[in-house]
A and B are shown apart, each in its own frame.
Chain A
């Protein structure tokens, strides 16, 4: 507690007396008060239930990995894990490096400088968020491949006929994978850096330039250290996305740990072995999460500064050469991360329109949007609860429970899918068995036969995005605000709904949209968990691409990217409003 004048005890006492007086005065029933009291009492219990539900796939994974079959372990340790670990580390390192550079440089440019198209670019830099990693892989292989426009041009100019006449960068490689993924994942860094520059940077930069510091020095000596937690958060989100990817890795032929899980399980039918590799991945992710927490705790966050709106901030106007460099630097990521996939798949889409329109596409689109909406709403509601629980009762137990409830993001979608599917299918069959036995009718596959399982997987998988964004939002609201409200006799319930929630709207919107986009793009868990007869856009595209028919997936990919744009536009508006 950061209260100076009022001690914890006296403050609690005040609240208690306050409640009693209300209670006595009205001698009636006040639901919010009841919920407030019970809510506090039952907080841990509810948290435990959520944490258990969300962490269930992880438990399943542990059980399968550790109580299962160790027969293949020595083979995996000897022949699979070393290479896959090396590849994974190189991939993550490369992506962290590249996204940190692209994300923070572009955020810096659009936050503090004025150059042509700056405003447009500050929005456009988010566009690659709409491109799933696997789609970018398909597009890059087409674009930079032998039959793509670039190599064709090279051949035309120099009169080459065969790929052995010249050297060209091979996109189907580790380096290619780093580039392909970085170009669509950097917006996570960009968004989080931009937010921090917006909140904290302006005041600092004004002070620093008054004192005579140059732009470069301000960036490296002041802004970067200041934004380090934001940078860490962004990069960690990026890395978690990268670790999850299977679609792009499969297509580019890069054998990461995640891919090995997929391959060991599905090609070799060795689920225990897959779970054992998954545990190694979990350790890496756990290290990332702990690192992120440490970084966040180190953050010197001045509540006062953060809540002050700085009006009339003047961006530095760039002239001459510098302005073109800035334009070029912030345009390049947009062109590569959005322009190329958009161009390639748009081209395929146009060409496929000639051969007729596939009706199942509309179905897939509708399915994807409804799934994403439901998942986003549920995820955000649970995330709000988790974040608020930490805010009002910041104990070690609560924090641990919340961490547990958000660990799902660490797991590749395929493993989450199995971790969920096995227990839920068992539950379905259990219920069905007793219903048949007692009442003589079958309930069938109650959960696994419907999209509940799928939504459950999304909630598990994307909880950390919502929770991270919402927690960051809560951190911006000083605790003194809650305390003031409580002192004035408002209950926790009222404080939450009437004071915090309106202030949290931007964070909630951001969280919901990030989840929405991610669900729309999600592939690996969807592939395994979709109920019979349900097809989403990502599945539609993946199926075509895996059969070497990306050309026919043009329209669907375009739709996924365009649908991904809608939340970005709304996100933009929310950001501008705040």
Chain B
């Protein structure tokens, strides 16, 4: 009996301790729900806290941010939402979890094509979806997305899951550019050219080129920078060195780019701090950190591009309206299932 009592007491007190988790509503904090990886935003958040004294609490959710905020309703602790894909930014607005932010500083920093006309979301960086080609086995230095469907790439392409937001956005841009039917045929042929079933992230695809499993991989540019400077796992430097970056369609409509961005939550408990953070993220200082440490393309005009990013080559971005990509995302996602891309 005493055993039971002890267990009960211990259990209940432990429960009480675990429940009294520090509140997310302290006065000088700002809460972030982020699709973005914590270490990618960590240097930015540190700089923000140093500058303003506002403490940042971040919840990294790879997926399902929208569903979570919707369910939390008015009591959601989220102030600012960070995403890495245009469809998600638009989805947040359509899901009704954002609020309009009208701020002259932010508007001055972010060109109008990279923000919502009502201020419900703002872009922060762009990232290009490129081809990493084996230096050894691929001779050509020019490529198009359309070309990936050609017979000559049979068994030579690697990519991550077709349902990944980056690939969905790429397919959505294809739909906008060449039409739905054409895109479906294209996607089916690309699938037939894959060296293996899609798995792993963009880095794993570069590794597969390095190992010889495939000759070209589809991925985002900044991964190359991340791998080239990886001191913790120096073997990744070798992977990166084995590939060259080809910017697809650079002689035509341009390379597909996606937008990472931010939005203020509709029921943000700390709207002032949220605004301060958003201002900061669009500022020259933060944009430089993005360029220098995350190897993305900053959005604020006049921000210096890091030498590493410059070494990737000259980019000509596809000027397709971002809303077109967001609009076609759902069709693209179904198409991935229809052609059995991930099977």
Collect the chain B residues with CB atoms within 8 Å of residue A432's CB. 74-75
Q: How far is the CA of A159 from the CA of B14 in the complex (A)?
A: 58
Binds B, one of A15-23, A389-397, A449-457: A449-457
* Cross-chain pairs A/B with CB under 8 angstroms, 17 sampled: A251-B199, A253-B161, A253-B200, A262-B63, A370-B14, A374-B14, A377-B11, A426-B71, A445-B76, A450-B18, A497-B1, A532-B57, A532-B77, A533-B57, A534-B21, A547-B39, A549-B233
Contact B68 A172 (CB under 8 A): no
Find out whether the CB atom of B15 lies under 8 angstroms from the CB atom of A425. no
A532 touches B342 (CB 8 A): no
| B60, B164, B232: the one within 8 Å of A552 (CB) | B232
Closest B residue to A161 using CB positions: B212
B residues near A501, Cβ cutoff 8 Å: 4
- Besides the contacts A147-B235, A374-B15, A449-B24, what 16 more A-B pairs have beta carbons closer than 8 Å? A80-B337, A161-B212, A163-B212, A164-B213, A165-B212, A265-B67, A266-B64, A371-B18, A429-B73, A442-B75, A444-B23, A444-B75, A455-B18, A528-B68, A547-B39, A552-B232
A374 pairs with B18, CB closer than 8 A: yes
* Residues of A534-554 contacting chain B, CB below 8 A: 534, 543, 546-549, 551-552
Q: If A425-B73, A429-B74, A532-B77 touch, does A373 touch B21 (CB 8 Å cutoff)?
A: no
Q: Considering only CB atoms, which chain B residue lies closest to A80 in the complex?
A: B337
Q: Does B11 contact A374, Cβ atoms closer than 8 Å?
A: yes
State the Cβ distance, B187 to closest chain A Cβ, in Å.
13
> With the chains together, A364 CA to B63 CA distance in Å?
21
Complex Cα spacing A425 to B68, Å: 9
Residue A271 interfacial (CB < 8 Å): yes
- A409 interface residue, CB < 8 Å from B? no
- B165 near A532: Cβ-Cβ < 8 Å: no
Whether B340 is near chain A, meaning CB under 8 Å from some CB there, is: yes
Q: How far is the CA of A138 from the CA of B210 in the complex (A)?
A: 19
Find out whether the CB atom of A263 lies under 8 angstroms from the CB atom of B163.
Answer: yes
- Binary flags per residue of A91-133, CB closer than 8 Å to B gives 1, else 0: 0000000000000000000000000000000000000000000
Residues of B within 8 A of A534 (CB): 21
Residues of A346-361 contacting chain B, CB below 8 A: 352, 355
Q: Is B59 an interface residue (CB 8 A)?
A: yes
- CB pair B337–A75 under 8 Å, yes or no, is yes
**Residue-wise interface mask of B (298-321) relative to A, using a CB-CB cutoff of 8 A (1 in contact, 0 not):** 000000000000000000000000
Q: Across the interface, which residues of B come within 8 angstroms of A442, CB to CB?
A: 75
Contact B11 A450 (CB under 8 A): no
Q: How large is the interface on A (under 10, 10 to 19, 20 to 34, 35 or more residues)?
A: 35 or more
Residues of B within 8 A of A378 (CB): 11
**B176-202 residues at the A interface, CB under 8 angstroms:** 196-202
Nearest to B39 among chain A residues (CB) is A547
Q: Which B residues are in CB contact (< 8 Å) with A547?
A: 37, 39, 201
On whether A543 and B14 interact (CB within 8 A), knowing A163-B211, A253-B199, A253-B200, the answer reads no
Could you list which residues of chain B lie within 8 angstroms of chain A, going by C-beta atoms? 1, 4, 7, 10-11, 14-15, 17-25, 31, 37-39, 57, 59-64, 66-68, 71-77, 91, 161, 163-165, 168, 196-204, 207-208, 210-213, 232-233, 235, 330, 333-334, 337-338, 340, 342-343
Minimal beta-carbon separation of A72 from chain B (angstroms): 8
For A266, the closest partner residue in chain B by CB is: B63
B72 near A497: Cβ-Cβ < 8 Å? no
- Min C-beta distance of A105 to chain B, whole Å: 32
Please determine whether B337 and A79 come into contact, CB atoms closer than 8 angstroms: yes
Q: How far is the CB of A546 from chain B (nearest CB, A)?
A: 6
Where chain A touches its partner, the secondary structure class is helix
* Residue numbers in B under 8 Å from A268 (CB-CB): 163, 330, 333-334
Contact between chains at B77 and A449 (CB < 8 Å): yes
- A148 CB to nearest chain B CB (Å): 10
Residues facing B in A145-197 (CB within 8 A) are 145-147, 161-165, 170, 172-173
Q: How far is the CB of B226 from chain A (nearest CB, A)?
A: 9
Once the chains are docked, how many angstroms separate the CA of A422 from the CA of B69?
Answer: 11
Verify B197–A172 contact, CB threshold 8 A: yes
Tell me whether A546 and B62 are in contact in the complex, defined as CB-CB below 8 angstroms, given that A163-B211, A371-B18, A532-B77 are known contacts: yes
Contact of B67 among A173, A374, A418, A549 (CB under 8 A): A418
**Residue A478 at the chain B interface, CB threshold 8 Å:** no
User: Closest residue of chain B to A146, judged by CB?
Assistant: B211
For window 262-306 of A, CB contacts with B under 8 Å fall at 262-263, 265-269, 271
Alpha-carbon distance A547/B75, docked complex (angstroms): 30
CB-defined contacts of B235 to chain A, threshold 8 Å: 147
| Distance to closest chain B CB from A336 (angstroms) | 21
Task: State whether A532 touches B232 (Cβ < 8 A).
Answer: no
User: A348 to chain B: closest CB distance in Å?
Assistant: 9
Interface: A342 (CB within 8 A): no
- Measured in the bound complex, the distance between the Cα atoms of B71 and A265 in whole Å is 15
A448 at the interface (CB under 8 A from B): yes
| Residues in A neighbouring B71, C-beta threshold 8 A | 421-422, 425-426, 448
Complex contact A267–B18 (CB within 8 A): no
B31: A residues at CB distance < 8 A: 532
Query: Which residues of the other chain, B, contact A164 by a CB distance below 8 angstroms?
Result: 212-213
Kindly provide the distance from the CB of B51 to the nearest chain A CB, expressed in whole angstroms: 22
Which residue on chain A has the smallest CB distance to residue B75? A445
Residues of chain B contacted by A371 (CB below 8 angstroms): 18
Q: Are B91 and A269 in contact (CB under 8 A)?
A: yes
Q: Which 3 A-B pairs have the closest CB atoms?
A: A253-B199, A162-B212, A146-B211
| A532 pairs with B59, CB closer than 8 A | yes
Complex CA gap A161/B242 in Å reads 13
The answer to whether B333 and A267 have CB atoms under 8 Å apart is yes
Contacts of B337 in A (CB 8 A): 75, 79-80
Most buried by A among B61, B71, B233, B334: B71
Contacts of A421 in B (CB 8 A): 68, 71
Is A558's CB within 8 Å of the partner chain B?
A: no
Contacts of B11 in A (CB 8 A): 373-374, 377-378
Q: Which of A163, A173, A429 contacts B75 (CB 8 A)?
A: A429
* Cα(A73)–Cα(B71), bound, Å: 24
Which A residues lie within 8 Å of B165 (CB)? Answer: 267
Please, which residues of chain A bring their CB within 8 A of the CB of B330? 268
Would you call A489 an interface residue if the criterion is a C-beta within 8 Å of the partner chain's C-beta atoms?
no
CA–CA, A268 and B67, complex, Å:
12
Q: A146-B207, A532-B31, A547-B201 are in contact. Are A450 and B24 (CB under 8 A)?
A: no
What chain B residues lie within 8 Å of A262 (beta carbons)?
63
Residues of B within 8 A of A449 (CB): 24, 75, 77
Complex alpha-carbon distance, A269 and B337, angstroms? 14
Q: Give the chain B neighbours of A255 by CB distance below 8 A.
A: 342-343
Q: Is B14's CB under 8 angstroms from A172's CB? A: no
Q: With A374-B18, A497-B4 as known contacts, state yes or no: A253 contacts B338, CB within 8 Å.
A: no
For B1, B18, B39, which residue has the most chain A Cβ atoms within 10 angstroms? B18
> Which residue of B is nearest A423, CB measured?
B71
The distance from the CB of A200 to the nearest CB of chain B, in whole angstroms, is 30
A410: interface (CB < 8 Å): no
Chain B residues whose C-beta falls within 8 Å of the C-beta of A263 in the assembled complex = 161, 163
Nearest-Cβ distance from residue A341 to partner chain B, whole angstroms? 18
Q: Are B211 and A147 in contact (CB under 8 A)?
A: yes
Bitwise, A449-483 to B at CB < 8 A (1) or not (0) is 11110010000000000000000000000000000
Is A65 on the interface with B (CB-CB < 8 A)? no
Find chain B residues with CB under 8 A from A519 CB.
none
Q: In the bound complex, how far is the Cα of B18 from the Cα of A251, in angstroms?
A: 32
Question: Is A252 on the interface with B (CB-CB < 8 A)?
Answer: yes
Q: How far is the CB of A204 from chain B (nearest CB, A)?
A: 35
Chain B residue contacts of A165, Cβ below 8 A: 212
- Per a CB cutoff under 8 Å, which of B1, B201, B338 touches A546? B201
A531 within 8 A of B: yes
Least distance between B13 CB and chain A CB atoms (Å):
10
The smallest C-beta distance from B312 to any residue of chain A, in angstroms, reads 19
Within 8 A of B (CB), among A420-445: 421-422, 425-426, 428-429, 432, 442, 444-445
Can you name the residue of chain B whose Cβ is closest to the Cβ of A502? B3
Contact partners of A418 in chain B: CB under 8 A: 67
Query: Closest residue to B32 on the A side, CB-wise?
Result: A532
Docked complex: A2-16 residues within 8 A CB-CB of B: none
